[in-house]
Chains A and B, each alone.
Chain A
Amino acid sequence: MTRRRSRAVLAAGLAASVLGLTACSDDAETDPVAAASDDTLVVYNAQHEQLTEEWAEAFTEETGIEVVLRNGNDSELGNQLVQEGDDSRADVFLTENSPAISLVENAGLLAPVDQATLDQVPEQYRPASGLWTGIAARSTVFVYNPDELTEAELPASIMDLADPSWQGRWGGAPGGADFQAIVSAILDLEGPDATSAWLDGMKDNATVYQNNIATMKAVNAGEVPGGIIYHYYWFRDQDGTKENSGNTELHFFGNQDPGAFVSVSGGGVLASSENQDAAQQFLAFLTGTTGQEILGTGYSMEYPVASGVAANPALPALDSLQAPAVDPSNLNSVEVTDLMTDAGLL
């Protein structure tokens, strides 16, 4: 009797759990991808959410194609795409920096970008392979607090920051893809031994922050005299409340120094996408006049790289920055994370 009773309750319970769980998994409202029509473009987005949302809205308005974003970090989404392989639901991948998209390119997962799109972008901002294209650019800068550092004390090269004299005097966000891209430029320009030594110096000298904004905020508050960030965080804050940058200045390294590295943000179409047409349209839109003007006039403060669109007038001209020549397809994210793991920064 007990046995029959238990079995009956259990059968009921099991049926209910199966029903309950499938009900949850079919829940359209919690899964926009499943709910959306097949035409919806799935973008794995490592660019700033706000910027890509501006892009996506304008694109939807122009073409009627809906866009959903999966937001994450460059390396996270890049590695995720590699692990997902052909099963990925992504149609387009947008990065903040090129190493992550090179990773996906090297795994053979990208489809060639339409020639018409490539023609909109000058050669130095895209790889020779034509498998992805630059969509924006950002410059490395040293943000500093003039109360703590005089102009004469500023580092001439980013490499100086590994010197013991800089102990406790600068900060950065090594966990972020931006910083890792800067390290990849150092690796490309200075080689593995110098990079390794520089990272060891950073481990001793630098205060580690969660991201660029937190670094800038700490410099602004006088917690640390200087920090390595990208230019647009500072210009955005200056354009707004100046709450996190009012007490700071920018120092551009220039002089083809690794610290003057200009990082190219990439966009590519996944070869496994069943939405090739819409995906190519999206890249064409981003690199076209409307897409680039959103960079030039919108909140972003990143540099436009295509269609001859001018940068926000508040920014120094991109060609005045004396950036070192770095081929974006050479930047290696795997070796960088390994070196940073060895140095104990990750």
Chain B
Amino acid sequence: MTSITLDDIGLKDFTLQTLPRLKELRSQYFSRRPEICIERARYITKYLRYHDNASDSPEIRQAKKVSYFLHRKSAQFHDRNLIAGSTTSKALGAPLFPEFFALTLWPELETVSDRKKNPQKLTHEEATELNLDIFPFWMDKNVLELTRTRFSNPKCLQLFENLVFFIAAKAGCISHAVPAYSFMLEHGLSGMIAMAAEREEALAAATDKKERQQADFFRAVQISLQGIIAHATQLADEAEHLARVTNNSEDAAELIEMAAICRRVPAGPATTFREAINAIWICQVGIHAENINMAMSPGRLDQILYPYYRRDIAEGRLDIARAIELTGCLWLKIADNVTMVPEASEELFGGAGTVPAITIGGVDANGEDAVNDLTYIMLRVTELLTIRDPNVNARYDYEKNSSAYCRRLAEATLNTKSVPAFFNDKANITALTGQGETLEHARDYAVIGCVELASSGRDYPASSSIMMNLAAPLEMALFQGKRPITGEEQIGPVTPDPSELASFEDFWQVFKTQLDWLIEQAIQLNDYMGAVHQEMMPSPLLSALFIGPMDKGKDLIQGGALYNSSGATHIAFADVVDSLNAIEQTVFVEKKYTFNDLLEQVRNNFSGLEGEKVRLYLQNHTPKYGTEAPIARKNSRNLVQHLFNLYQSHTNYRGGPYRPSYWTMTNHAGLGGISGALPHGRKAGKVFSSGMTPVSGAAPELTACLNAVAELGGELVPGCWALNIKYTPEADVTTMSEYFAQTIEAYFRAGGQQVQFNIMTYKMLLDAKKHPENYPELMVRVSGYSAYFKDLNEMMKDELITRTQYGLTDGQAVPLPPLQ
């Protein structure tokens, strides 16, 4: 059921020149430097210090704490954006969440404003308040310390703190979710509060413990949502105040209209497109009062907002230019915050945005074409703004969506050089139905953060719970449970010396022993931290915006969602597969080297002429993931299959399964930097390959590469993957977008789940590294999200530079120029 009424789906008549407000806002956005905002930390600390009642249930304590903050959160209008509300008190703010890692800022309070890489401004007064008042309160109260105390500093926690094995993301966030906004728009928060009150009322006489908990949850929902309404009222008051003190009558009129909107929504049901957009944004602000700003993803906005758009257009209240302007205002609002990153974490996370994902296109619950005018409007806005956040993802069903749509996506990618990312509806819906989701629910999937999948508002997938460094268990398999970086310490089980193994199959078993042990450590820590979250960080506000908790009377953190799971993503997949291939080929098939030879070279980091000879041989003469070499295909399939089986056999603290995925943010650069040499000829300290992407230079043919990756897709990768492909830009965008679109469709038909692009050359990126001042707005795809090239650390820049660049006119890898 296609609902395209646009004459030109490219909307080429609408540019930043015809949309002066967006042009102005965009230029202000690029001129802003991040500032740390301490408002949230201040008010939740005050609440806990002076008002907290320890006998309240965890949900009610959380609700009161968040609502206390929302009642006091300052209302700011930083620019001429048409949408009211901001995540923080700063124009571009980094909020502090002392429940998590905010205290890592403590040693850097004096330096964070002026540090060389990505400084974040903090005033002297605010630094003092943090130092003397806020941080001391939290010293033993963050998730990490509570886990340490409650579970007596377990081994799994120590492994995590070592940072080189895996990352337990719950120490820093859960967030990573897509709420269900349609219900909120239809009923308004007041309507939802009334429903919660009714349910609480029905349980008033209950004495059963479970029912009491349910009543408490419904109470917590009301308190939280009232906090959002209180903040909307403050926004209205402030807008009216500003309208009175401005001399500009145009500004005043706009402010008065914004005030009226904030008094109507999100308390009441939305009646117009503009109200709906503003209601969603104020709810996003509310969600960020409760949950850290990491991948809180608004979801399928082209579907959610479409009824309001269509009605306004039909009734003449809205035209396309205004719809583009309002959508652009929302995009810029979503981009109004960054994460607080202490200097020590720059290596791992530097340059990342907060990755709120928006999903457009694809099919509807009935499996029919869901692309509408708003899909193209959102695509045009994404193309015109080309900003890091929101992370815009395009779903594509090659049978139901038109090829004109796919070509338009291709054209937008060629124009922006990097966005949107492409998601295959067929494969991703299969991945979710494989997790027991109904077909209708799976069809309503949206992307979370980088690439992860969730049925909109039904799925609480904590999709970034574990980030596993696969190179760690590989090294432990090579060195009997030890790793070069941790020296003589026995980390994993003592497995047999590889040089005594008779077959590759035996080594595969040894590798799995170490892998399974490490993953089980990570799972145990995740479940420990989950238990801590259940006590100290429930999410009644977010729960109210989900489908499930209001029926079950249960917070998301207690398993209130319809579908519950935990996500585990993997770093160094391609490097580990290639290492397995190299071992199998050279030690067991060709018998060119003994296992001892190989271990010796790895230990010595391939030093000397002999070492370099071996390294080049391993690099040039062993089967590679990203080609169709049978050994590489077998090992990649086996690894994906094994990880799937292992994770699915574990149940998390919310009663759901673990879901594997393959995206890496910037961790593949950071973890590569601290990992030793590997048997596929990678020297110590070199970056790993990103996400599901083959090792740079290992996959010389585009179609072979796409085929090799695609065949791994579907049920075995329920958390999806990030495949990075770099294309040489061509002058002829029209011809190129045709081949571009055809290539994506073939890759999707072969089973590929996701692909994202950088349309740039080695040369250009090398120049951007050398002269960052000439590329202030250069945006690149990292692994599932976008970043400004200049913000990335040096290792990550090198990783982007050396990624295989394919010519879209010949499908061959372009030779890498000599690097200075």
Q: Do chains A and B interact in one complex?
A: no
Q: Which residues of A contact B (CB under 8 A)?
A: none
Q: Which residues of B contact A (CB under 8 A)?
A: none
